[in-house]
Amino acid sequence: MFKIALLPGDGVGPEVIREAVKCLDVVGKRFSLELRFQAALVGGAAVEATGRPLPPDTLELCRQSDAVLFGAVGGQKYDGLPRELRPERAILDLRQELGLYANLRPARLFLPLIAASTLKEEVVRGIDLLVVRELTGGIYFGKPRGIEPIEGGERAVDTLIYTTAEIERIAKVAFQAAQRRRRKVTSVDKANVLASSELWRRVVNGVARAFPEVALEHMYVDNCAMQLVRDPRQFDVILTENMFGDILSDEAAMLVGSIGMLPSASIGAKVGIYEPIHGSAPDLAGKDKANPIAAILSGAMMLRHTFGQEEAAEAMEEAVANALERGYRTPDIQSPGTTLVGTTQMGDLIASELSEG
Ligand code: NAD
Ligand code: IPM
Ligand code: MN
């Protein structure tokens, strides 16, 4: 039996998680997996109900589960709250509390979506890259942080810290992933300016010695942002720190059609979190317009990484590919000659591909 904590959250979070569960239910039946779901409050929804973005009961449920399927958190309504009460705090605390230092964000082009990218077909054809983002360190968590009054105004500080141990463990994840792929790691940093990047580069070079069959290159983050749109197929595994990885993965999502397509796995300890990389998309919430594929593919990553069910994971990915092949599209990936569907219908279509498969 696999215990899954469901944290739908805010905005389109609940809408896309509903479709992911729909598909997981079908794949569970097909492969005789006993998937047991239990839902809990998180983000703005939890602030409304309990005054806190990550209630202790929710954290406890996650700890007691095998994996967490997370939607999205946040919304304009909460942007004025003190930082520790903002919905986004919930996902940051969850990652830290569960010890999930490694975030895998794969960007692969589904061929039927070649026309959905804003880039030329010959640039995006065959994109298959993996962003390995450090997730529990760097400027997201460093102290001191905060805003204080000074004469004539205020002073704000964030701190970017990395230790050898933090860099080593994430670098290993990247090299191991590259061993199973095209054996190339591009480590992305800002070593020409930042001390933390200087250490990052040195430690990554050290880890690389244990992986002689993997080619390592270093790239500055500004250049990487440019290379991603110039020639994205040069990348296999992109290894990078927390904030750079956040930014570059949204860019990578657009290369393969839409941010609504990119799943993620946050791993490194007992309980993994699986979530689409997109946010609560307040502009789409309640309109049946959000693309549920990122959430559905996150479910597939959960089957693969936490439950070791490679075949079931591949079946889900194939069902997504088939639905796209048949021409069904949510608005974000629509192109001429395709059939427009909503969130729910896309989920239904993928689920029915799965049950037929
Ligand atoms: P966003 O990812 O929510 O939306 C950015 C753009 O992408 C919007 O135009 C949106 O309509 C579109 N988009 C997002 N998901 C989509 C989907 N599934 N299908 C189709 N289009 C989709 O980012 P934002 O607007 O910068 O942030 C909105 C809120 O979400 C903020 O409160 C932010 O802090 C939060 N956020 C949360 C997470 C998370 O929970 N993991 C991630 C990113 C942002
Ligand atoms: C993401 C999100 C989060 C991040 C926010 C909501 C804290 O943007 O998962 O990409 O920055 O990690
Ligand atoms: Mn992000």
| Torsion from C-alpha of 230, 320, 273, 76, nearest 10 degrees | 70
Considering the domain architecture, whether residues 139 and 241 belong to the same structural domain is answered as: yes
Look up 29 and say whether it is catalytic. Answer: no
Of 255, 288, 309, which one is at a domain's C-terminal end?
Answer: 255
Contact (CB, 8 A) for 248 and 187: no
> How confident is the model at residue 169, as a pLDDT?
98
Out of 10, 236, 246, 332, the active site residue is: 246
Average pLDDT over residues 32-48: 98
Q: What is the CATH number of the domain that holds 280?
A: 3.40.718.10
Our CA angle for 272, 196, 274, nearest 5°, is 15
Segment 155-165, tens digit of pLDDT: 999 999 999 99
Alpha carbon nearest to ligand 1 atom 25, residue: 281
Considering the domain architecture, whether residues 167 and 77 belong to the same structural domain is answered as: no
| CA distance readout (Å), 224 to 21, 150, 251 | 35, 37, 10
Average pLDDT over residues 55-75: 98
> How confident is the model at residue 356, as a pLDDT?
82
| CA distance readout (Å), 245 to 138, 248, 291, 321 | 11, 5, 22, 26
Considering the domain architecture, whether residues 158 and 244 belong to the same structural domain is answered as: yes
Considering the domain architecture, whether residues 248 and 285 belong to the same structural domain is answered as: no
Segment 110-143, tens digit of pLDDT: 999 999 999 999 999 999 999 999 999 999 999 9
Contact (CB, 8 A) for 132 and 177: yes
CA separation for the pair 67, 103 (Å, rounded): 14
Which residues sit with their C-beta closer than 6 Å to ligand 2?
74, 88, 91-92, 246, 277
Look up 222 and say whether it is catalytic. Answer: yes
Of 231, 255, 279, which one is at a domain's C-terminal end?
Answer: 255
Q: Is the CB of 260 under 6 A from ligand 1?
A: yes
Q: Note down the domain range covering 86.
A: 1-101+260-357
Look up 190 and say whether it is catalytic. Answer: yes
pLDDT-based confidence at 280, cuts 50/70/90? very high
Could you tell me what percent of the chain has a pLDDT over 70? 100
User: What is the distance in A from the centroid of ligand 3 to the CA of 244?
Assistant: 10
Into how many domains does the chain fold?
2
